[in-house]
Amino acid sequence: MRWKRTIQLLDVHAEGEIGRVAIGGVPKIPGDTIADQLAWLNSDPKGQELRRFLCLEPRGAPIGSVNLLLPAKHPDADAAFIILQPDQAHASSGSNSICVTTALLEAGIVEMQEPETVVTLETAAGLVKAVATCRDGRCEKVKLTMVPSFVHELDVGLQTPEWGEIKVDLCYGGVFYALVDVAQIGLTIEKANAAGLVKAGMVLKELINAQVSVVHPEIPAISGVAYVMFRDTEADGTVRTCTTMWPGRADRSPCGTGNSANLAALHARGQAKVGDIFQSRSIIGTQFEVGLLAETIVAGRSAIIPTITGRGFTFGLHQVALDPFDPLADGFAMTDVWGPSAGEI
């Protein structure tokens, strides 16, 4: 073969959300910290080239993420990773943390111990502790202790051309979210409404980022609202979610960082306390367990430590490669599959 680049990917999903894990062939990413490496991937042309190679057609697809498995920088971490998606590299993700933990254990990169294996993951947002329940060589479920989550601002009034003024909560759960009660846009969270939810989410994200600036007070590489998550509460208290992702798709999982951000909002409103456990259901009906482990402080503001529990499943192993004569080396996306915003790629 005349390939000039090859990367090996282990295919994993967490409650339906695909999080492929690059376990071989990952190039060296410059940076003294994982946050530095995140910033390089989002700013340097070579970093953007790598993301496009893995996430865009003809080698990638609009669904799912690619997790770059990296050597840990922190002495307590077993491995580090950064999430690549079509728009940019992202700092943290609950579903992808579950995928990475499952991949590390089931591929034998980290030795599996039964009945539990503790894996410490390093992200640009901080350390994530993963406790995996293991049996017969399989990772059955993963409980994550997430990075501190906090409220940036509650009940922000946002003027929209289609829905008038709506209220959004701007909260951090590993990345920044705009949390929107779905009734405000006249939809419900169900599969039949996925296209409508995504279209609304893309509009709202653009409006919010044009009007509001959010930057993590301790990690400048994490800035801007990454996702709009629609939410609702079912009769049994289950939180129903749909996180919308650029350029136009819905997260298939209940969303770990989104539920962490939402838990911070619930705590700030006095609707959640230490020790509480909630169920969160995705647009396709899969579930995460969401817990409030502790209260803490981030840069002088009240914050919480959430936990997210869910399942990861491996479903394939493949290698992507680049032919040096391929005219589509930079990747592409089209609006017929990727949605209207794909025209910006």
The response to whether 108 counts as a known ligand-binding position is no
Q: Which residues contact 26 (CB under 8 A, 6 or more apart)?
A: 7, 68, 69, 70
Closest by CA to 106, choosing from 136, 70, 64, is 136
Q: Per the annotation, does 257 bind a ligand? A: yes
Q: Any catalytic annotation for residue 242?
A: no
**Residue whose C-alpha is closest to residue 68's, from 32, 106, 122, 111:** 122
* Residue 40 token pair: 């390089």
Whose structure tokens read 């933990």?
101
Long-range contacts of 286-291 (CB under 8 A, 24+ apart): 286/15, 286/16, 286/252, 286/253, 286/254, 286/310, 287/15, 287/238, 287/254, 288/15, 288/94, 288/253, 288/254, 288/255, 288/256, 288/259, 289/143, 290/239, 290/259, 290/260, 290/263
Given 134, 171, 242, 255, the catalytic residue: 255
On whether 260 is known to bind a ligand per the annotation, the reply is no
- Asked whether residue 94 is marked as a ligand-binding residue, the answer is yes
Answer yes or no: is 213 a known binding residue: no
Strand-pair partners of 185 = none
- The reply to whether 93 belongs to the active site is yes
92, 93, 97, 282: which is the annotated catalytic residue?
93
**251: annotated binding-site residue?**
yes
**Annotated binding residues:** 85, 94-95, 251, 256-257
**Annotated binding residues for substrate:** 85, 94-95, 251, 256-257
Catalytic residue set: 93, 255
